Amino acid sequence: MSPPQSLGLDVEILRRLSSDRLVRVLEDAPGAKDLIIDGDLMKMLDRIAGATLLRSHGVDKMYRLERVPPPVQSSQRVYLVRPSLLQLKILADHVHSDHAAHPDLHVHVVVVPRLVSWVTGLLEEEGLYGALTLHEFCPDFIPLDDDLLSLEMTSFFRDAFLEGDFSGCVDVARAINTLQGLFGQIPYVLAHGRAAKAVVNTLDLLNNQNSPKKTSQMPEISHLFIFDRDADYVTPLLTQLTYEGALDDHFGINAGVVEFPGEVVGQDAPRKVPLNSKDTIYDNIRNKHFASVSSYLITKAKEVNAKKEQAQNMTASQMKDFVANELRTLQSCHATLALHLRACESITKSVKQDFETQLTTEHGLVTGASNAGQARKFLKNCLARMQPLTDNLRLFCLYSLTQDGLSPKDYKQLASQMLAAHGHKHLITLNNLRQLNLLCATESSASSTGVNRDSSGTNIQGRLAQVTSLLPKKGQGWRAAAKRLRLIPDPDKTIDLHNPSDPSYVFNGAYTPVMAKVVGEALSVRGAFTQTLLDSLKVLPGTTISRAAPPGSPVGPHVALVVMMGGVTYTEVAALRLLAVTSGTRIIVASTSTINGDQLVSGVVHK
């Protein structure tokens, strides 16, 4: 399943760039220092630089940023923080409280990824501007794998789509700009959505600042796709069915590392295991449909055992050779196989008893094959049984999206049962989901006809209002969009889940992730994007920007960079990996972070 690797373009270099930049920032505070790190940055820093590297640059103690300040032991302390107002307020409180006892303490603040206006504003208000030394540390994409890059900006989805703060787009643009600096200006660009537009705008601005010689470099990446998460909410809401997706849903994969509980690793304590293509067994199963993983693992395990048995009948010299060369690989193979088999077992055991009903409901809602009444009943039972909040919210949102919005009666009934099960404070959560258009209660027909009557004048404004009232309202056009983009495969066509050729295998052939569909269509045509494709994108929220290489200019090899603003699911990654194979393109997926349905929803849950 692995995409063609023959094309150069080593993304590992990005890690070195980030780590060098981090070192430079640390050296800006020469000598011994204590480090206080925003919890949100821990995993990212871990992927860029280990503690040893930090220690070799004067870092003594490391603390997580919490309300209570750590003891002052060094004459310098360096705070590494996100530009979040809440965290910065804590930081400011630390500095105030430490100042009394330690007036000589020198405080550095490193804002990751950049010093935004409200950071300086807050520090100024706190009377700390000038008393602290401010730095920026702008990391590049972190390579989680050869074909998966992440900025680990886990709060981007909430910040941008809920709170209207698209400042993270600048950082994405910077990271893409680095890639363009390394691999040349990307000739074909297709961007859709608000955040995507902001990225392209900033990218243009940065391009103008680059030295002109870079633009003449032969491009090593031919296509750049940028999408917003809100172009496809259905994918993260559905239960993930690929092995990697299932691992993410059940154990949680953070920045490319999964923490298996003790029962899976066969020890008392949980163990962190990096998941990437360096592990060839994992590379073979990660994108497989969950149903075919264990049989594959068992076959492999039998092969390994057979080889070990062969060793029984070996001559002494053969044995010596075997021990020297093969035994170690066989043993590690064996360990990996056992690990994944236990992981499979653990997932199978922990899936809900009504897992099948859950899947049938989800897929029935998406394809429209089953009636909505059954789904509503299932949801009501889930609510009454107090199933986990995120599961219930996911199903509620999926129900609303696929019905193109709920009737006020339906909405009120389900919403009040949601609050009964999980607490009334989630009135705020529901409001957030409505802001995101993940939930939608259609206006009652009475009030909308009232509007029409008011505006039914002969004046142009009245007519305009009439026209706009006919247009699909926000969060209500999902079904039309799915039809237009042909996201739901023909039910008569059988989708092979075990040897897939169609990206919809990731959802049992019920649904194709938007990203995989659009990128697939775009790559199927050499050269500029077709008008048909651009027209079909109009059904998604936001506007499209498309660029093509001027005729005659070098286009370079077929390599595509697909950027998802607001988090990419492992399901989408799997679908794109399949696409890479079928289209003969190397596809590199980049995102603000990896995400699953629970993370997406819990990001906007009221705490």
Per CB under 8 A, residues contacting other proteins are 84-86, 89, 114-118, 121-122, 129-133, 136, 159, 163-170, 194-195, 197-198, 201-202, 205-206, 208-209, 353-354, 357, 380-381, 383-386, 412, 415-417, 419-425, 427-428, 431, 606
Sheet of strand 59-64, all strands in order from the earlier edge strand to the far edge: 59-64, 33-37, 76-81, 106-111, 133-136
Task: Pick the closer one to other proteins by CB: 130 or 551.
Answer: 130
Choice between 165 and 404, CB closer to other proteins = 165
Task: Name which of 278 and 352 has its Cβ closer to other proteins.
Answer: 352
Smallest distance from other proteins to CB 444, Å: 11
The nearest distance, CB 433 to other proteins, in angstroms, is 12
Residue with tokens 């900025």: 151
Select 204 or 321, whichever has its Cβ closest to other proteins. Answer: 204
Return the number of the residue (346 or 374) whose C-beta is nearest other proteins: 374
Q: What is the DSSP letter of 567?
A: -
DSSP 3-state assignment of 302? helix
Closest distance between other proteins and the C-beta of residue 117, in Å? 4
Q: Which residue has the tokens 């470099």?
A: 217
Conformation bin of residue 423: beta by default, left when phi > 0, alpha when psi is -120 to 50 = left
> Rounded to the nearest whole angstrom, what is the least distance from the CB of residue 441 to other proteins in the complex?
9
At closest approach, how far in Å is the CB of 355 from other proteins?
11
Looking at the Cβ atoms of 256 and 603, the one nearer to other proteins is 603
Contact 134, 120 (CB under 8 A): yes
Residue 407 to residues 124, 377, 402, 475, 478: CA-CA distances in angstroms? 49, 16, 13, 13, 15
* Nearest of 99, 157, 605 to residue 388 by alpha carbon: 605
Question: Which residue lies nearer to other proteins by CB, 198 or 560?
Answer: 198
Min separation Cβ 67 and other proteins, Å: 14
Residues with Cβ within 8 Å of 421's Cβ and at least 6 positions away in sequence, in order, are 383, 384, 386, 392
Sequence-separated (6 or more) residues with CB below 8 Å from residue 354: none
Nearer to other proteins, 116 or 338 (CB): 116
Q: Is the dihedral of CA 145, 149, 152, 158 positive or negative?
A: negative
* Smallest distance, other proteins to C-beta of residue 377, A: 8
Q: Which is nearer to other proteins, 177 or 583 (CB)?
A: 177
Read off φ and ψ for residue 112, nearest 5 degrees.
Answer: -115, 120
Nearer to other proteins, 98 or 326 (CB): 98
Question: In the bound complex, what is the minimum distance in angstroms from residue 209's beta carbon to other proteins?
Answer: 6
The CB-of-443 to other proteins minimum distance in angstroms stands at: 10
Give CA–CA dist 158/27, Å, rounded. 33
Q: Are 230 and 265 in contact (CB under 8 A)?
A: no
- Please, which residue, 419 or 545, has the CB nearer to other proteins? 419
Sheet of strand 257-260, all strands in order from the earlier edge strand to the far edge:
253-254, 257-260, 271-274
Do 475 and 401 meet the contact criterion of CB atoms below 8 Å apart? Answer: yes
Instruction: Rank residues 195 and 221 by Cβ distance to other proteins and give the closer one.
Output: 195
Give the integer Cα–Cα distance in Å for 29 and 151: 25
* Per-residue tokens: 284: 């073979």
| Closest separation in Å from C-beta 286 to other proteins | 31
Burial class from Cβ neighbours inside 10 Å (0-12, 13-18, 19+) for residue 45 reads: buried
> CB neighbours (10 Å) of residue 384?
11
Q: How far is the CB of 432 from other proteins (least distance, A)?
A: 9
Q: Compute the least distance from the CB of residue 265 to other proteins, in Å.
A: 26
Token pair, residue 57, equals 């640059």
Q: Are 160 and 153 in contact (CB under 8 A)?
A: no
Q: HSE of 559 in the Cβ direction (CA atoms, 13 Å)?
A: 24
Q: Which two tokens stand for residue 9?
A: 């373009």
